[in-house]
Structure 1
Amino acid sequence: MGSWDIGPFDNDTAADFAGDLDEAALEEREAMIRGVLKRAAGPPDFLGIDDGERAVGAAALVVAQHSDCDPPCSNYGPSESLPELPADLRMLAVDALDQVVSNRSELAELWAEAANWSKWRQDITRLRDVLDPPIPPQEDALFEI
């Protein structure tokens, strides 16, 4: 794994994906992001490390367009602008991130062996929570039956 840190683009594969996005025409970038997310979110087969690393980067790009969030992308993310990404990519990104941390993910297996596994996992959870915020626990019921 060519990783130097836990960020979404802090590995060779995701940094290369960012470079590919920069080289693509603006109108092709959404389809590239969608394709990466679909591959990762697809049928529950084994998710290879490269597809997992690209999916984390693609999900971070979807998160970056969320209005209440600081961009999670490092210096290794795309430097060219992205088109406005459609809302349906949010749930596709959630599904992809769920696969990335599943027991069918080579990336999760490799990170599980790393000293900073819990920090990586927290960052993935943070991305997911921006895309699909957890439902807060219910207070007492307004009406009792």
Structure 2
Amino acid sequence: MGTWDIGHFDNDTAADYCGALDEAPPGEREGLLRHALTLTAEAGAEDYLDSDEAVRALAAAALVAAQCPGGEPVTTAYGPGEPLPVLAADLRPLAVAALDRTVAEESELAELWDETEDGPAWRRAVQALRDVLAPVAGPGPEVTVDAS
């Protein structure tokens, strides 16, 4: 895998995946995202996850997150050049599951990043995507109870 930075699209596999998205008919693009996410999300915890599958899932998750509140638009030249449809909301939990599997044990991609000095920054970037896809609800307003 040719990788030049820690961004979700900063490698040959993600760039090729985005090229395939661009070449697909508009009505099939969401299905390609769903397929990449499902392959990774459904990989067994004991199965070794191939880095290319994880990279495609990471790129797909970033594209899903871009449509979420607080999501960062994909502006890199290595992302898709063609517009994506408004994506189904059920892709969000699937993307979270794929991200969780990508950073888990038995993931070649996580293992490769963990062997570099950029591993912690890569993990933070994946966590930031996850936070957009599955925001944690903050505490509600403080309630005081009058005990008189």
The alignment's TM-score, normalised by the length of structure 1, stands at 0.91
Contact 2:60/2:95 (<8 A) preserved = yes
Task: From the CA coordinates, give the structure whose radius of gyration is larger.
Answer: 2
How far, CA to CA, are the matches of 1:115 and 1:72 in structure 2? 25
How far, CA to CA, are the matches of 1:143 and 1:98 in structure 2? 40
- The runs of at least 4 aligned residues of structure 1 exceeding 2 Å deviation read 67-70, 134-144
Aligned to 2:128: 126
Tell me the CA shift for residue 2 of structure 1: 1.2
Aligned to 1:92: 94
How far, CA to CA, are the matches of 1:111 and 1:42 in structure 2? 22
Aligned to 2:63: 61
> What are the equivalent positions in structure 2 for 1:28-67 lying under 5 Å apart?
28-44=28-44, 45-67=47-69
Aligned to 1:20: 20
How far, CA to CA, are the matches of 1:12 and 1:105 in structure 2? 18
Q: Per-residue CA shift, 1:79-136, capped at 9, x if unaligned?
A: 0001110000000000000000001210000000011111111100000000001244
CA separation of 1:139 and 1:106: change in aligned 2, threshold 3 A: farther
What is the root-mean-square deviation of aligned Cα atoms in Å? 2.0
Aligned to 1:115: 117
CA separation of 1:72 and 1:128: change in aligned 2, threshold 3 A: farther
How far, CA to CA, are the matches of 2:61 and 2:105 in structure 1? 19
Tell me the CA shift for residue 49 of structure 1: 0.3
CA separation of 1:112 and 1:101: change in aligned 2, threshold 3 A: same
CA separation of 1:141 and 1:112: change in aligned 2, threshold 3 A: farther
How many equivalent pairs are there? 145
How far, CA to CA, are the matches of 2:79 and 2:9 in structure 1? 6
CA separation of 1:61 and 1:85: change in aligned 2, threshold 3 A: same
Aligned to 1:105: 107
Tell me the CA shift for residue 70 of structure 1: 2.4
Note the residue ranges of structure 2 that are not aligned, 5 or more in a row.
none
